[in-house]
Amino acid sequence: MLAITFGGEAERARALDAIGAIHRRVHGTLPAACGRFPAGTPYSAEDPALLLWVHATLIESILVVYDRLVAPLSQADRDRYCVDSADVAIALGARADEVPRGWRELQAYMDREYEASSIAVSAQARTLAAALLSPVSGRAAAPLTALATLLAAGLLPAKVRRDYGFVWNRRRRRAFNVAVRVLRLARHALPHAIAWWPQARSWLRSVRPVAPRAG
């Protein structure tokens, strides 16, 4: 994603090719029923409908997390990000006429998918979520795992959160809001050398005008 966002045309093309190569290896059939999909339903990472869903959730997550942890985003900011991101989904195989070009369009698409019961949490999904939220075992990693789990649960839609089995109550909600405020303050206190990816810093230097020297 860093190469796609900040790289030149050649670097961007290589990254898209690499993602496409991974997608070509991801296919099979559901081992067990999940939601409205029976066991044996075929899937492929090259399916335009699945590509669109992954794209939509990625864009929504980026905008929601930025809005909460960095700075509020205007409607125009959100719309512009949707427009700027659309060509990546299309390059990877999503249908051009289905890719949302605005924030409200993106939200409407996701609402339709939830209402159609197209989104369901399987046992495999819960196993993968546990591995992602706790990639390192041991007591030393426990606080990070707890924080990652709290943030993930707080950002999910209520039904999806329940289906994953995350505990959510008034105490957890308060802890989530406190964690978001602390992380936002910490993010603003960090210098760009720490808070920004090296690729982002390089890109900013390349587009920032150089002040003329005196004399």
Q: At what angle do helices 48-69 and 103-115 cross, to 10 degrees?
A: 120
Q: Are both 101 and 171 inside the same structural domain?
A: no
Torsion over CA: 111, 115, 119, 123 (sign):
positive
Query: Does residue 34 have a pLDDT over 60?
Result: yes
Q: Are both 21 and 79 inside the same structural domain?
A: yes
**Residue 181 within a domain:** yes
Q: Are both 3 and 60 inside the same structural domain?
A: yes
**Residue 131 within a domain:** no
**Residue 201 within a domain:** yes
Q: Are both 163 and 107 inside the same structural domain?
A: no
What residues form DSSP beta bridges with 28? 43
Q: Are both 148 and 111 inside the same structural domain?
A: no
Choosing from 96, 122, 148, the residue where a domain stops is 122
- pLDDT score of 103: 97
**Residue 178 within a domain:** yes
Q: Kindly state the average pLDDT of the residues 173-198.
A: 94
pTM over 0.75: yes
The total domain count for the chain is 2
What is the b/e burial string over 126-139, where b = at least 16 CB atoms within 10 angstroms of the residue's CB?
eeebeeebbeeeee
Q: Which domain holds residue 109?
A: 1-122
pLDDT tens for each residue of 13-25: 999 999 999 999 9
3 contact partners, CB below 8 Å, separation of at least 6:
11, 12, 14, 15, 199
Q: Are both 102 and 13 inside the same structural domain?
A: yes
How far the first Cα of the chain sits from its last, in Å, is 43
Asked if residue 56 lies in contact with residue 103, where contact means CB atoms within 8 angstroms, the answer is: no
pLDDT tens for each residue of 105-151: 999 999 999 999 899 999 999 999 999 998 777 788 889 999 999 99
**Residue 184 within a domain:** yes
Q: Are both 167 and 115 inside the same structural domain?
A: no
Q: Are both 212 and 179 inside the same structural domain?
A: yes
Q: Are both 63 and 28 inside the same structural domain?
A: yes
**Residue 132 within a domain:** no
Q: Are both 206 and 146 inside the same structural domain?
A: yes
Q: Are both 31 and 84 inside the same structural domain?
A: yes
Q: Are both 57 and 161 inside the same structural domain?
A: no
pLDDT tens for each residue of 198-211: 988 888 888 876 55
Query: Comparing C-alpha atoms, which of 79, 71, 81, 72 is closest to residue 103?
Result: 79
DSSP string, 25-72: H-EEE-SS-BTTBPTT-EEETT-HHHHHHHHHHHHHHHHHHHHHHT--
**Residue 133 within a domain:** no
CA–CA distance, 123 with 148 (Å, rounded to integer): 20
